[in-house]
Amino acid sequence: MRRGEMGRRDFMRTMGWLGVSGASAAAAAGLAACAPARPKASRDTLRFVCAVQQMTDPALTTWIEASNLFRNSLEFLTEVDADNITRPFLAQSWRPSEDLKTWDFILRPDVRWSNGDPFTAEDVAFNIRRWIAPGSKSVNRTAFAALRDLEVTGPHAFRLHLDRAVCSLPEQLYAFTCPILHRDFETRGGDWPKNPVGTGPYRMTDFEVGRQASFQRRADYWGPAPALARIDYVDLGTDISTHVAALAAGQVDVLYRVSVAELDLVNRLPQARLIRQQAAQTVVMRMQHDARPFDDLRVRRAVQLAADNAQMLKLAYRGFGAVGENHHVAPFQPDYAPLPAQKRDVAQARHLLTEAGHADGLDLALTIGNTQGRFEQDTAQVLQQNLAEAGIRLHLKVLPASEYWSVWDKTPFGLTYWSHRPLGVMALDLAYRSGSAWNESHFSDPGFDRALDNAMARLDPKDRARDMAGLEKTLQDQAVMVQPYWAEKFTAVSPRVRGYRAHPSDYFRMDKVWLADA
């Protein structure tokens, strides 16, 4: 670092993969003196606009919003912070074997549950075993498909045995469905809001779906005391302009999210401060390889060549983000490999269509659900104009957001929102491995799968990037998708709010947030 060969973020990231705690890493880098002073515990209450959803079993949660509530009380083995750097949390360190198939974890010995019980490896074993149990309904069962067994090796130590190398294991353990519950969770009713025991800094004191949830600071928290005495989550529905009005009227302090449509309004409000965050969230317009006419590579290539990704970013998302490269790996993910820029070529698109027997043009239908907002449909409308230049008549089939999830993996041509993944290899493993549960494009290539296995077996992202170049190129050459852009995230807070950072996955932590004097 001192020789300037490695930046602060890269150094911290490397320490993270090696399972070295943030504090130790910062001390080693001489950064401790730069860290902002943590404010003292206050009597302040912060009001946060967020959907208050059911969270009976946190491992079965399907929406990130719910996890932002229980994240105040439940903690994770690892943490991927707002800078996309993985750090130890309840696990104070870990060590993978050479082949990345065996992982040894050491837990913090000083953690206690809010009911006074000590936190041990038995708690972790209870959670991980129920995630991967044959009858498990948790999405973790798919995410940890490679996990074969867990072995408790000490009161505060455990070992994971995997069928294949998974370099992203620490990152996966911070997925929103992976909070660590007390080992008696099931025997005490299996309904977390009714028995909200956790290791986190806050205790849930009030919970009503669709209305409000409140969290009170714990006096006996094992870590540093958070500044806020209380956090109230208020459900104001889904209309973001209503949330902005509440912020303007001083009725709330933090908004969960602001869409690109409200940016100008928020920027003009003296009662609001806009926060922007780069994230590997994107929309993917993927074509199913086993459905007509997309079973013909020439058709898929024509669609990709006619699409103008930069224009979609500019018109549909007002330029807030980075242009996508049609391979679902973001330039700001640590294992990204740069490839030569793809050029738009409408003439070549027409030529390919003619070769494929569509000289008179082609009718296609794109299914859209606007699951994250109207910008999805705006993007599709720009694509519609782009494709028209090549003679493709694109019909937009707009479904209600809730209906889209019934067809997202069935429709031949669909626009799906993909949320941030800390590593590029994670998205590829989930969405493009042959037969994977979330492989919505039905893309299947044994060579790609083998290359993915190789990439997953490399711990250092810089080494992995070499494999990633081949994977990215395959996805581009096979024209699996039009992936127009990486969309920034936005949120707004009251000017009194301090220490709040947007997170690329929307995984907010409130223990470092405080309110300045009015």
Under the binding rule (CB under 8 A), the answer on residue 267 touching another protein is no
Rule CB under 8 A: is residue 494 a binding residue for another protein? no
Residue 234 interacting with another protein (CB under 8 A)? yes
Residue (of 501, 509, 16) closest to 224 by Cα position: 509
Closest approach, Cβ 62 to another protein, in A, equals: 4
Q: Does 242 bind another protein (CB under 8 A)?
A: yes
Which pair of structure tokens corresponds to residue 239? 């209309």
Stretch that binds another protein, among 10-18, 238-246, 301-309, 391-399 (CB under 8 A): 238-246
| 269 lies in the binding site for another protein (CB under 8 A) | yes
Q: How far is the CB of 247 from another protein (least distance, A)?
A: 8
Both structure tokens of 261: 């449509």
Determine, following the binding rule CB under 8 A, whether residue 480 of this chain makes contact with another protein: no
Is 279 in contact with 298 (CB distance < 8 Å)?
A: no
Nearer to another protein, 250 or 338 (CB): 250
- Cis previous bond, 201, omega within 30: no
Q: Which single residue is written with the structure tokens 């500044």?
A: 227
449 exposed, middle or buried (CB, 10 Å; 0-12, 13-18, 19+)?
middle
Shortest reach from residue 233's CB to another protein, in Å:
11
Q: Does 205 bind another protein (CB under 8 A)?
A: no
Inter-CA distances, 370 with 211, 367, 399, 419, 493, Å: 24, 10, 8, 14, 25
End-to-end CA distance of the chain: 41
**Contact between 210 and another protein per CB under 8 A:** yes
Contact 306, 352 (CB under 8 A): no
Query: Which x/- pattern, by CB under 8 A, does the window 24-63 give for another protein?
Result: -----------------------------xx-x-----x-
Angle subtended by helix axes 375-388 and 309-316, to nearest 10: 140
The distance of closest approach from Cβ of residue 395 to another protein in the complex, given in angstroms and rounded to an integer, is: 22
Q: DSSP character for 32?
A: G
Phi, psi of 280 (to 5 degrees): -85, 45
239 interacts with another protein by CB under 8 A:
yes
Task: Considering only the stretches 90-98, 118-126, 207-215, 297-305, report the one whose residues sit in contact with another protein under the rule CB under 8 A.
Answer: 207-215
**Binding-site member from 209, 274, 346, 356 for another protein (CB under 8 A):** 209
Residue 26 Cβ vs another protein, minimum distance, rounded to whole Å: 37
Query: Amino acid identity, residue 81?
Result: D
Q: Are 100 and 459 in contact (CB under 8 A)?
A: yes
5/239 with CB nearer another protein: 239
**If binding means CB under 8 A, how many residues of this protein chain bind another protein?**
35
Interaction of residue 406 with another protein, rule CB under 8 A = yes
Strands 273-287 and 413-418: what pairing? Answer: antiparallel
Q: Which is nearer to another protein, 263 or 346 (CB)?
A: 263
134's CB contacts (< 8 A; 6+ apart) are none
What whole-number distance in Å separates Cα of residue 289 and Cα of residue 286?
9
Site string for another protein, 122-161 (x = CB under 8 A): ---------------x-x--x-------------------
Q: Which is nearer to another protein, 97 or 241 (CB)?
A: 241
Instruction: Report the nearest approach of another protein to the CB of residue 282 (Å).
Output: 18
The residue among 142 and 444 lying less far from another protein, judged by its C-beta, is: 142
Closer residue to another protein (CB): 239 or 360: 239
Cβ-proximal residues to 101 (8 Å cutoff; 6+ apart), any chain: 161, 162, 163, 164, 165
- 236 near another protein, judged by CB under 8 A: yes
Which stretch, 113-121, 151-159, 220-228, 234-242, contacts another protein (CB under 8 A)? 234-242
**Judged by CB under 8 A, does residue 190 bind another protein?**
no
Is 241 one of the binding residues for another protein (CB under 8 A)? yes
Compare residues 30 and 190 and give the one whose CB is closer to another protein: 190
Q: What number of other Cβ atoms are within 10 A of residue 235's Cβ?
A: 17
Residue among 124 and 272 whose Cβ is closer to another protein: 272
Number of Cβ within 10 Å of residue 323's Cβ equals 19
Closer to another protein at the Cβ: 4 or 270?
270
Q: In residues, how long is the chain? A: 518
The H-or-E segment that residue 482 falls in is strand 481-482
Nearest distance, CB of residue 413 and another protein, angstroms? 18
Q: Is 211 in the site for another protein (CB under 8 A)?
A: yes
**248 makes contact with another protein (CB under 8 A):** yes
Name the burial class of residue 118, with classes exposed (0-12), middle (13-18) and buried (19+) by CB atoms within 10 angstroms of its CB: middle
For another protein, give the closer residue by CB, 149 or 403.
Answer: 403
CA atoms within 13 A on the CB side of 437: 7
Site membership for another protein, residue 77 (CB under 8 A): no
User: Per-residue b/e over 478-492, b at no fewer than 16 CB within 10 Å?
Assistant: bbbbbbbbbbbbbbb
DSSP 118: B
What are the residues binding another protein (CB under 8 A)? 53-54, 56, 62, 137, 139, 142, 209-212, 234-239, 241-242, 244-249, 251, 269, 400-403, 405-406, 408, 437
